[in-house]
Structure 1
Amino acid sequence: MSNTEKLAVQQTNEEKSHPYDEVSTTTTALDILSMEHTDPVLDAKMRLVNNAIDEIGFTAYQWKMFFLNGFGYAVDSLILLIQGIIASQAALEFHPSYALAMTIAAYVGMLLGAIFWGFSADIIGRRFAFNCSLLFCSIFAIVAGASPNWPVLGLFIALSAFGGGGNLVLDTAVFLEYLPSKDQWLLTLLAAWWGIGQLIAGLFAWAFLPNFSCTDPAVDPSAPPCTRANNMGWRYVWFASGALVFVMSILRITIIHLNETPKYLVGVGRDEQVVETLQSIAHKYNRPCSLTLQQLEACGVTKVSHAKSRASFAEVWLHIRGLYATRRMGISTTLIWFSWTLIGLAYPLYNVFLPSYLKSRGAQFGDTSAYTQWRNYAVINVCGIFGPIPAAYLCATRIGRRGTMVVGGLITMVFFFAYTQVRNDAQNLGFNCAVNFSLNIYYGTLYAYTPEVLPSAHRGTGNGIAIGCNRIMGILSAVIATVADTNTPVPIYICAALYLVMAIVAALFPFEPYGRRSS
């Protein structure tokens, strides 16, 4: 038996006697992919890093990351929803030939952003994207409000989405790679920020659109033509959103000076920086950290997860291949990507086109005022904030991540089917709130589960492709909307069936992170 293998066995025995039973009274917190690694040196070093993070424990550093990384979640949902909110009002001013172009522009931008920032996270590190993505997003969000025509608006929306689209890839990975094992459930709670972003979008719409928008001539033939002068509401929404994102980006840079994550550094063989990073956190918050450079070097030399040229297809292929290093990892990766594909169709059909559906329901119930429409929209999005809270609790119990996704998927399916029986405005609002709450139980857990079960060296790539699959289906949903009537209950039936399939797939995931540590 080699020295590395002996060390791995020794560390496994140490972990079994270590008091990680704060996570589970019967299961020791071993690494999720411990038995899957093809590189025993990397596995041994990852165990040492996880031990050090657990030894330091949860500090104010992680609390800062919870809020600052949460900004990325909020921005992703904010940008995505705003384009759907303002599209119809901007169309009255610009008279486009393709009304759903903004949805496609947003999803194309987010698709490219997820792929670009995801691959860059594994190729050049997490730190660059964490510091730059929100700033990039904010600049083009502000500029979008000054767009002179429909094509330019689409371009700026796509560029803003490109910056925002990388945050879901990076924020979960960065936060996870600093979390002690007993606190990994917080990754699910982080998804509450997604609902906060939705709420901000709803509040901006409620504040600006009823008071600063022109009237649709189709509704009131005597209304004057829509011009920039009498239709500034949708521009104000973009200005306010871009300014808010800009403030968030500055806070991310100034409040926390993010070091490269220890697990990324381990994967690229920079052991000395791993020790420096963890020791600096321990020193700053007066916590113990017994990790030394000698311990890491004793494990051997890590196979660096990079090709000869990082700017090459070989580098990309190396990271994709790393996600299929073993049979179980390959099955896990495929099922994760499939789940993101399914929810990528279900979520836009319900949420991106929710304003038009709410409008049709309002007309049926006798209330078509913009004030009521956007007030209800804000109320619905408030409910989405609280979905990840019970999800986080369930993830920290024996139900685990897979069980929580099954519960969330099935409850959402039931509410979707029940929604078809809505007959008045109060029921319409109530069921929308219930659906938004329950689907975030599933969605929030999937966001957390994905990086937890991916290997650190390829986490950005796997996460980026997963979210890329989601965005592709978002584009497809916009195409579907051009040939299908989204004002009918048909999308509801489709969404219900998709959530049932998602629940089944969740039950088939081969890894359960409960009581385990991310690798």
Structure 2
Amino acid sequence: MSRNARLDRLPVTAKHRRLLFGSGIGWALDAMDVGLISFIMAALAVHWNLSATQTSWLGSIGFVGMALGATFGGLLADRIGRRQVFALTLLVYGLATGASALAGSLAVLIALRFLVGLGLGAELPVASTLVSEFAPRKIRGRMVVLLEAFWAVGWLAAALIGAFVVSASENGWRWALALGCVPTLYAVYVRMGLPESVRFLEKKNRHEEAEEIVAAFEAEVDPAELAAIDERGRREAEEGVSTPEQDAFAREDSIWSPLLRRRTAALWIIWFCVNLSYYGAFIWIPSLLVDQGFTLVKSFTFTLIITLAQLPGYAVAAWLIEKWGRRMTLATLLLGSAAAAAFYGTAETEAMIILAGCLLSFFNLGAWGALYAIGPELYPTAVRGAGTGAAAGFGRIASIIAPLIVPPILIFGGPLLLFGLFALSFLIASAAAFTLPEQRGKVLEV
């Protein structure tokens, strides 16, 4: 039995939970950083008297860095390892975020936000790839969705910091950014505490290290239970032998090869559309509420309530992804996101704004969880980091555009046109999701 098959057949162990929690805390810290900028934009628009164009660039420049970070971070992860890149990215964006707290001008703050984006963009696809490569086959999708659920924890932390720190004083945004130094310390733990991908190690002919890691995971399971699992595995192996098509897939070394290009194109479309709608809406919601006449404190409180709806969205996605499958779960949640975006565009009262925002948060973040679970499963090990990173990098182009297009669209057609555009984008993403292959229960290609 190969080392990858030995990992695939294991139940969830304490080591799996440590890997998920360790990666998830890094994920939450990333989300906190991204979420904070939406509150900082609203605060600096008041304290520094920034124009809509200036706040747009403050929101977008980080995503320029994220686009580059995601693309090159994935490539680097395929060359030097998932864990190494994970730790490096946390270090880069943690230091840059802490330095942002000292910025004395908009130009300096924008430059530092670009560096923050570089680290943040590279970390997300690398972390999901690492967890996906260790997760037991039968619950692989669920584990990656649970990893993505830490995004809600981080965004919730950002909403709390926005409501109680950013809005507390004129320099509240500086104290909020100072908290971004936390990932710098966490990077040391990541480097020392998390295992490297066994699939990566085998590709690099580091077989002794790979064997030590697999043996350590197996040691967490009772020997009698392991023997029973192996017996079931032998019976299943007789029914599901490798096919020439699977072998050819494993040998692919380009995400645009004939066997991979259709799924790559669909994945890129989904990433682009989801980024456009998500960041266009959630980066601007606190500022939009202020523009509608709500106070800074009240708009931040509304955003905090809306953020709470992310948690049940992830929970539903984690359950459905192993029941309905990846494709149906993602497509359905994207359809729900489209309906919620259309509803938000027509919301006028406080109750309607909160309800529509909660629905958008529920469906959209559930879709994000399913999307991160799908990506690593679409590629063989040799290009898995590159495939997930390139899709994320292409999607970040939309996240760069999204904050910039919001002000002119609002002037031209108001919230109805803006959220109508987001609804259309979600519909396109849902259609693309239906073209992806269903990977539920399949062996992660080597």
Into which bin does the TM-score normalised by the smaller protein fall?
Answer: 0.7 to 0.9
Q: Which 5+ residue runs of structure 2 have no aligned equivalent?
A: 231-250
Name the aligned partner's letter for residue 130 of structure 1: F
- 1:107–1:158 contact (8 Å) kept in structure 2: yes
Instruction: Report the AA paired with residue 120 of structure 2.
Output: G
State the match for 2:255 in structure 1. Answer: 323
Distance in 2, Cα, partners of 1:106 & 1:373: 23
For 2:256, the aligned partner's letter is: Y
Specify every segment of 5 or more residues in structure 1 that has no aligned partner in the other structure, as ranges: 1-46, 213-230, 291-318
Tell me the alpha carbon deviations over residues 152-195 of structure 1, each in whole angstroms, 9 at most, x when there is no partner: 11111111221122221111111111111112122122211111
Q: Does 1:123 align with 2:79?
A: yes
Shift of 1:344: 1.8
- Distance in 2, matches of 1:425 and 1:376, equals 9
- Counterpart in 2 of 1:500? 427
Q: Offset of 1:421 from its aligned partner?
A: 3.5
Instruction: Provide the residue aligned with 1:81 in structure 2.
Output: 35
Change (3 A) 1:421 1:90: closer
Query: Once the 2 structures are TM-superposed, how far is the Cα of residue 320 of structure 1 from its aligned partner?
Result: 9.3
Structure-2 residue corresponding to 1:177: 133
CA shift for structure 1 position 271 = 3.1
Encode CA deviations 1:226-248: one digit per residue, 9 max, x unaligned: xxxxx2011111112x1443454
Alignment partners' CA distance in 1, 2:345 and 2:92: 41
Contact 2:42 2:287 (8 Å CA) reproduced: no
Match of 1:316 in 2: none
**Code of the aligned partner of 1:245:** P
Please give the alpha-carbon distance, in whole angstroms, between the structure 2 residues aligned to 1:92 and 1:496. 30
Q: Which amino acid aligns with 1:404?
A: T
Please say if residues 68 and 252 of structure 1, whose CA atoms lie closer than 8 Å, have aligned partners that are also in contact: yes
TM (normalized to structure 1)? 0.75
Distance across 2 between alignment mates of 1:96 and 1:382: 29
Which residue does the alignment assign to 1:434? Answer: 359
Does 2:431 align with 1:516? no
Aligned partner (choices 313, 318, 339) of residue 392 of structure 1:
318
Whole-Å separation in 2 of the counterparts to 1:160 and 1:181: 34
Most deviating of 440-449 and 160-169: 160-169
Amino acid of the residue matched to residue 90 of structure 1? L
Whichever residue aligns with residue 278 of structure 2, its letter is Y
Q: Deviation string for 1:407-460 (max 9, x for gaps)? A: 101111122222334231011111101110011121110111011122111111
The answer (yes or no) to whether the contact 2:39–2:166 under 8 Å persists in 1 is: no
Q: What residue identity is the alignment partner of 2:25?
A: F
Taking structure 2 as the reference length, the TM-score comes to 0.87
Residues paired across the two proteins, number: 417
In 2, Cα distance between equivalents of 1:143 and 1:420:
37
Q: 1:377 aligns with which of 303, 306, 316?
A: 303
Q: Corresponding residue for 2:4?
A: 50
Shift of 1:210: 2.7
Paired with 1:400 and 1:73, the residues of 2 have a C-alpha distance of: 24
Paired position in structure 2 for 1:64: 18
- C-alpha separation in 2, matches of 1:145 and 1:267: 42
In structure 1, what is the Cα distance between the partners aligned to 2:346 and 2:195? 52
1:50-93 superposed Cα distances (whole Å, 9 cap, x missing partner) = 32113443211110111111123223322222222212433555
Q: Which has the larger radius of gyration?
A: 1
Deviations 1:236-263 (A, max 9, x none): 11112x1443454344345x2x332111
1: CA distance, partners of 2:283 / 2:119 = 19
Per the alignment, residue 238 of structure 2 pairs with: none
Deviation, 1:339, is 0.9
> 2:152 touches 2:311 (CA, 8 Å); kept in 1?
yes
More helix by share: 2
The whole-number CA distance in structure 1 between the counterparts of 2:349 and 2:83 is 50
| Identity %, equivalent residues | 24
Work out whether 1:490 is the aligned partner of 2:417: yes
Look up the equivalent residue of 1:175 and give its one-letter code: V
Letter of the 2:212 partner, please give it. E
Match of 1:103 in 2: 59
Shift of 1:122: 0.6
1:237 maps to amino acid:
A
- Conserved 8 A contact 1:111-1:468: yes
Q: Which amino acid aligns with 1:238?
A: L
Q: 1:355-366 counterparts in 2 under 5 A?
A: 355-361=286-292, 363=293
The separation in 1 between residues aligned to 2:48 and 2:291, in whole angstroms, is 23
Give, in whole Å, the separation in 2 of the partners of 1:93 and 1:238.
16
Q: C-alpha offsets along residues 272-300 of structure 1, whole Å, 9 cap, x if unaligned?
A: 3322321233236666599xxxxxxxxxx
The residue correspondences of 1:326-345 to structure 2 (distance < 5 A) are 326-327=258-259, 329-345=260-276
Corresponding residue number in structure 2 for 1:239:
178
Matched AA of 2:254: G
- Tell me: CA distance 1:210–1:83, structure 2 relative to 1, closer, same or farther (3 Å): closer
Spell out the pairing of 1:199-218 with structure 2 (5 A cutoff).
199-212=156-169
Q: Counterparts of 1:350 and 1:101 in 2: how far apart (Å)?
A: 15
Give 3-state SS (helix, strand or coil) of 2:134's partner: coil
> Hey, what's the Cα distance between the residues in 2 that align with 1:370 and 1:476?
25
Query: Would the aligned equivalents of 2:125 and 2:385 in 1 still touch at CA under 8 Å?
Result: yes
Give the aligned residue type for 2:358: C
Contact 2:73 2:122 in 1 (8 A): yes
Q: Which residue is 1:480 aligned to?
A: 405
Partner Cα separation in structure 1 for residue 367 and residue 327 of structure 2: 10
Asked whether the equivalents of residues 323 and 455 of structure 1 are also in contact (C-alpha less than 8 Å), the reply is no
Name the SS for the 1:264 alignment partner. Answer: helix
Letter of the structure 1 residue corresponding to residue 154 of structure 2:
G
| Paired residues of 1:401 and 1:512 also in contact (CA < 8 A) | yes
Residue 280 (str. 1) matches residue 216 (str. 2) = yes
Counterpart Cα distance in 2 of 1:380 and 1:112 = 30
Preserved CA contact (<8 Å) 2:4 2:198:
no
d(CA) in 1 for partners of 2:106, 2:114: 12
- Residue type of the alignment partner of 1:507: F
Corresponding residue of 2:153: 196
**Aligned match of 2:111 in 135, 155, 158?**
155
Who is 1:164 aligned against?
A: 120
Deviation at 1:500, TM superposition (A): 1.2
2: distance between equivalents of 1:271 and 1:251? 24
Name the SS for the 2:2 alignment partner: helix
Conservation of the 8 A alpha-carbon contact between 1:343 and 1:499: yes
Contact 2:25 2:150 in 1 (8 A): yes
- Supply the distance in 1 between the matched residues of 2:344 and 2:404 (Cα, whole angstroms): 24
